Structure 1
Amino acid sequence: MKKLNEKEEQIMQIIWRMGKAFVREIMEELNEPQVPVTTVSSLVRKLESEGWLDHESFGKTHRYYPLISMEDYRKASMSSMKEHYFAGSTTQLLSYFLREEKTDLSEIERLLEEIKKAESK
Protein backbone atom coordinates (compact mmCIF):
# COMPACT_ATOMS: atom_id res chain seq x y z
CA MET A 1 0.00 0.00 0.00
CA LYS A 2 1.34 3.43 -0.98
CA LYS A 3 2.31 5.78 1.83
CA LEU A 4 0.31 8.98 1.74
CA ASN A 5 2.05 12.34 1.92
CA GLU A 6 1.17 14.72 4.74
CA LYS A 7 -1.61 16.58 2.89
CA GLU A 8 -3.15 13.40 1.49
CA GLU A 9 -3.15 11.81 4.93
CA GLN A 10 -4.70 14.92 6.45
CA ILE A 11 -7.54 14.76 3.91
CA MET A 12 -8.03 11.03 4.45
CA GLN A 13 -8.14 11.55 8.24
CA ILE A 14 -10.95 14.07 7.75
CA ILE A 15 -12.91 11.75 5.46
CA TRP A 16 -12.36 8.74 7.74
CA ARG A 17 -13.65 10.78 10.68
CA MET A 18 -16.65 12.19 8.80
CA GLY A 19 -17.47 9.05 6.81
CA LYS A 20 -18.34 11.09 3.71
CA ALA A 21 -17.44 14.66 2.81
CA PHE A 22 -17.76 17.33 0.16
CA VAL A 23 -14.64 19.31 -0.77
CA ARG A 24 -16.02 22.38 1.06
CA GLU A 25 -16.47 20.31 4.23
CA ILE A 26 -12.91 19.05 3.94
CA MET A 27 -11.70 22.63 3.57
CA GLU A 28 -13.59 23.66 6.71
CA GLU A 29 -11.89 20.88 8.67
CA LEU A 30 -8.36 21.67 7.49
CA ASN A 31 -6.41 23.57 10.12
CA GLU A 32 -4.68 25.77 7.58
CA PRO A 33 -6.13 29.10 6.51
CA GLN A 34 -6.59 29.99 2.86
CA VAL A 35 -6.06 26.58 1.28
CA PRO A 36 -7.31 27.08 -2.28
CA VAL A 37 -10.31 24.97 -3.25
CA THR A 38 -8.41 23.93 -6.38
CA THR A 39 -5.63 22.43 -4.25
CA VAL A 40 -8.04 20.40 -2.14
CA SER A 41 -10.02 19.34 -5.22
CA SER A 42 -6.85 18.21 -6.98
CA LEU A 43 -5.70 16.19 -3.98
CA VAL A 44 -9.12 14.56 -3.59
CA ARG A 45 -9.23 13.66 -7.29
CA LYS A 46 -5.71 12.23 -7.04
CA LEU A 47 -6.73 10.12 -4.03
CA GLU A 48 -9.74 8.92 -6.00
CA SER A 49 -7.67 8.02 -9.07
CA GLU A 50 -5.28 6.04 -6.84
CA GLY A 51 -8.14 4.03 -5.34
CA TRP A 52 -8.32 5.63 -1.90
CA LEU A 53 -11.67 7.36 -2.45
CA ASP A 54 -14.81 7.14 -4.53
CA HIS A 55 -17.67 9.60 -4.81
CA GLU A 56 -21.42 10.04 -5.05
CA SER A 57 -22.63 12.68 -7.50
CA PHE A 58 -25.10 15.39 -6.57
CA GLY A 59 -25.43 17.36 -9.78
CA LYS A 60 -22.06 18.99 -10.34
CA THR A 61 -20.97 18.31 -6.76
CA HIS A 62 -19.33 15.18 -5.41
CA ARG A 63 -19.37 13.73 -1.93
CA TYR A 64 -16.31 11.55 -1.34
CA TYR A 65 -16.03 8.45 0.81
CA PRO A 66 -13.10 6.13 1.63
CA LEU A 67 -12.49 2.85 -0.16
CA ILE A 68 -9.62 1.95 2.18
CA SER A 69 -10.33 1.87 5.90
CA MET A 70 -8.31 3.76 8.45
CA GLU A 71 -7.54 0.44 10.15
CA ASP A 72 -6.12 -1.08 6.93
CA TYR A 73 -3.96 2.01 6.39
CA ARG A 74 -2.80 1.95 10.01
CA LYS A 75 -1.84 -1.73 9.76
CA ALA A 76 0.10 -1.18 6.53
CA SER A 77 1.85 1.92 7.90
CA MET A 78 2.85 0.26 11.16
CA SER A 79 4.04 -2.86 9.35
CA SER A 80 6.15 -0.74 7.01
CA MET A 81 7.58 1.27 9.92
CA LYS A 82 8.42 -1.92 11.80
CA GLU A 83 10.19 -3.39 8.75
CA HIS A 84 12.09 -0.25 7.76
CA TYR A 85 13.10 1.15 11.14
CA PHE A 86 13.10 -1.80 13.53
CA ALA A 87 14.30 -4.74 11.39
CA GLY A 88 10.85 -6.32 11.61
CA SER A 89 11.07 -6.59 15.40
CA THR A 90 7.94 -5.84 17.39
CA THR A 91 10.07 -5.83 20.55
CA GLN A 92 12.35 -3.12 19.17
CA LEU A 93 9.35 -1.08 18.01
CA LEU A 94 7.61 -1.23 21.39
CA SER A 95 10.85 -0.63 23.31
CA TYR A 96 11.49 2.48 21.27
CA PHE A 97 8.06 3.95 22.00
CA LEU A 98 8.17 3.00 25.66
CA ARG A 99 11.55 4.71 26.02
CA GLU A 100 10.95 7.77 23.86
CA GLU A 101 7.38 8.54 24.91
CA LYS A 102 8.06 8.26 28.65
CA THR A 103 5.28 5.73 29.04
CA ASP A 104 3.91 5.41 32.57
CA LEU A 105 3.58 2.09 34.36
CA SER A 106 -0.23 1.92 34.07
CA GLU A 107 0.02 2.11 30.27
CA ILE A 108 2.62 -0.65 30.25
CA GLU A 109 0.35 -2.79 32.43
CA ARG A 110 -2.55 -2.22 29.99
CA LEU A 111 -0.27 -3.21 27.13
CA LEU A 112 0.68 -6.43 28.93
CA GLU A 113 -3.02 -7.22 29.43
CA GLU A 114 -3.64 -6.72 25.71
CA ILE A 115 -0.76 -9.08 24.92
CA LYS A 116 -2.15 -11.71 27.30
CA LYS A 117 -5.60 -11.43 25.70
CA ALA A 118 -4.13 -11.80 22.22
CA GLU A 119 -2.11 -14.87 23.24
CA SER A 120 -5.15 -16.60 24.75
CA LYS A 121 -7.10 -16.42 21.48
Structure 2
Amino acid sequence: MEELTRTEERVMQAIWELKEPFFVKDLVERMPEKPPYNTIASVVRILESKGFLGYKAYGRTYEYFPKIAKADYRKSGFQKLLSDYFDGSAMGLLSFMAKEEQITPEQIEQLRKLIDEN
Protein backbone atom coordinates (compact mmCIF):
# COMPACT_ATOMS: atom_id res chain seq x y z
CA MET A 1 0.00 0.00 0.00
CA GLU A 2 1.37 3.39 -0.96
CA GLU A 3 2.25 5.84 1.79
CA LEU A 4 0.30 9.07 2.13
CA THR A 5 1.65 12.54 2.76
CA ARG A 6 0.47 14.30 5.92
CA THR A 7 -2.06 16.32 3.96
CA GLU A 8 -3.36 13.26 2.12
CA GLU A 9 -3.64 11.36 5.38
CA ARG A 10 -5.48 14.24 7.06
CA VAL A 11 -7.99 14.31 4.19
CA MET A 12 -8.33 10.51 4.28
CA GLN A 13 -9.04 10.69 8.03
CA ALA A 14 -11.87 13.13 7.30
CA ILE A 15 -13.18 10.83 4.56
CA TRP A 16 -13.19 7.82 6.89
CA GLU A 17 -15.13 9.88 9.44
CA LEU A 18 -17.84 10.56 6.83
CA LYS A 19 -18.63 6.81 6.62
CA GLU A 20 -20.54 7.36 3.37
CA PRO A 21 -19.92 8.30 -0.27
CA PHE A 22 -19.26 12.00 -0.63
CA PHE A 23 -18.88 14.91 -3.00
CA VAL A 24 -15.87 17.20 -2.56
CA LYS A 25 -18.10 20.06 -1.37
CA ASP A 26 -19.46 17.80 1.41
CA LEU A 27 -15.94 16.97 2.51
CA VAL A 28 -14.86 20.62 2.56
CA GLU A 29 -17.94 21.58 4.61
CA ARG A 30 -17.20 18.91 7.24
CA MET A 31 -13.52 19.78 7.67
CA PRO A 32 -12.96 22.01 10.71
CA GLU A 33 -10.48 24.39 9.03
CA LYS A 34 -12.62 24.82 5.86
CA PRO A 35 -9.76 24.50 3.34
CA PRO A 36 -10.19 25.83 -0.20
CA TYR A 37 -12.35 23.63 -2.44
CA ASN A 38 -9.68 23.39 -5.16
CA THR A 39 -7.06 22.21 -2.67
CA ILE A 40 -9.27 19.40 -1.41
CA ALA A 41 -10.36 18.50 -4.94
CA SER A 42 -6.68 18.14 -5.91
CA VAL A 43 -5.92 15.95 -2.89
CA VAL A 44 -8.99 13.80 -3.61
CA ARG A 45 -7.80 13.26 -7.20
CA ILE A 46 -4.36 12.24 -5.89
CA LEU A 47 -5.98 9.82 -3.42
CA GLU A 48 -8.01 8.36 -6.27
CA SER A 49 -4.88 7.94 -8.42
CA LYS A 50 -3.12 6.19 -5.50
CA GLY A 51 -6.02 3.74 -5.23
CA PHE A 52 -7.42 4.98 -1.93
CA LEU A 53 -10.65 6.28 -3.42
CA GLY A 54 -13.07 5.15 -6.08
CA TYR A 55 -15.76 7.25 -7.70
CA LYS A 56 -19.06 7.21 -9.50
CA ALA A 57 -19.51 9.83 -12.23
CA TYR A 58 -22.71 11.80 -12.68
CA GLY A 59 -21.90 13.79 -15.78
CA ARG A 60 -19.06 16.10 -14.71
CA THR A 61 -19.74 15.57 -11.00
CA TYR A 62 -18.03 12.80 -9.05
CA GLU A 63 -19.18 11.00 -5.95
CA TYR A 64 -16.20 9.45 -4.14
CA PHE A 65 -15.93 6.55 -1.72
CA PRO A 66 -13.01 4.97 0.14
CA LYS A 67 -11.53 1.81 -1.37
CA ILE A 68 -9.15 1.28 1.54
CA ALA A 69 -10.56 0.81 5.03
CA LYS A 70 -9.05 2.77 7.90
CA ALA A 71 -8.19 -0.50 9.69
CA ASP A 72 -6.25 -1.74 6.65
CA TYR A 73 -4.28 1.53 6.42
CA ARG A 74 -3.58 1.43 10.16
CA LYS A 75 -2.31 -2.15 9.88
CA SER A 76 -0.05 -1.25 6.96
CA GLY A 77 1.28 1.83 8.78
CA PHE A 78 1.92 -0.17 11.92
CA GLN A 79 3.78 -2.87 10.01
CA LYS A 80 5.94 -0.19 8.38
CA LEU A 81 6.64 1.44 11.77
CA LEU A 82 7.53 -1.93 13.27
CA SER A 83 9.88 -2.89 10.44
CA ASP A 84 11.49 0.54 9.91
CA TYR A 85 12.09 1.51 13.54
CA PHE A 86 12.04 -1.72 15.57
CA ASP A 87 13.56 -4.25 13.13
CA GLY A 88 10.24 -6.08 13.02
CA SER A 89 10.40 -6.82 16.75
CA ALA A 90 7.16 -6.50 18.70
CA MET A 91 9.24 -6.92 21.85
CA GLY A 92 11.38 -3.95 20.80
CA LEU A 93 8.26 -1.84 20.31
CA LEU A 94 6.75 -2.87 23.64
CA SER A 95 10.06 -2.27 25.40
CA PHE A 96 10.23 1.20 23.87
CA MET A 97 6.67 1.95 24.92
CA ALA A 98 7.31 0.75 28.48
CA LYS A 99 10.43 2.92 28.81
CA GLU A 100 9.49 6.03 26.86
CA GLU A 101 5.75 6.28 27.26
CA GLN A 102 5.61 5.39 30.96
CA ILE A 103 2.91 2.76 30.69
CA THR A 104 0.95 2.43 33.91
CA PRO A 105 0.79 -0.88 35.83
CA GLU A 106 -2.89 -1.10 34.88
CA GLN A 107 -2.04 -0.82 31.19
CA ILE A 108 0.67 -3.48 31.56
CA GLU A 109 -1.89 -5.78 33.17
CA GLN A 110 -4.31 -5.14 30.30
CA LEU A 111 -1.52 -6.00 27.83
CA ARG A 112 -0.80 -9.23 29.71
CA LYS A 113 -4.46 -10.22 29.52
CA LEU A 114 -4.54 -9.41 25.79
CA ILE A 115 -1.41 -11.50 25.19
CA ASP A 116 -2.84 -14.40 27.19
CA GLU A 117 -6.09 -14.27 25.21
CA ASN A 118 -4.25 -14.39 21.89
Q: State the shift of 1:71 in Å.
A: 1.1
Q: State the shift of 1:27 in Å.
A: 1.6
Q: Which moved more, 1:40-49 or 1:99-108?
A: 99-108
**TM-score normalised over the length of structure 2:** 0.87
Contact 1:15 1:64 in 2 (8 A): no
- Which residue in 1 is equivalent to 2:41? 41
* 1:95-106 to 2 correspondences below 5 Å: 95-106=95-106
- Which residue in 2 is equivalent to 1:10? 10
Q: State the shift of 1:117 in Å.
A: 1.1
Say which SS state the counterpart of residue 21 (structure 1) adopts. Answer: coil
Q: State the shift of 1:55 in Å.
A: 1.5
Q: State the shift of 1:73 in Å.
A: 0.8
**TM-score normalised over the length of structure 1:** 0.85
Distance 1:116 1:46 in 2: 43
* CA RMSD after TM alignment: 1.6
Say which SS state the counterpart of residue 17 (structure 1) adopts. Answer: helix
Identity rate of aligned residues, in percent? 38
- Which residue in 1 is equivalent to 2:86? 86
1:28–1:101 CA distance, 2 compared to 1 (3 A) = farther
Q: State the shift of 1:30 in Å.
A: 2.7
Contact 2:2 2:50 in 1 (8 A): no
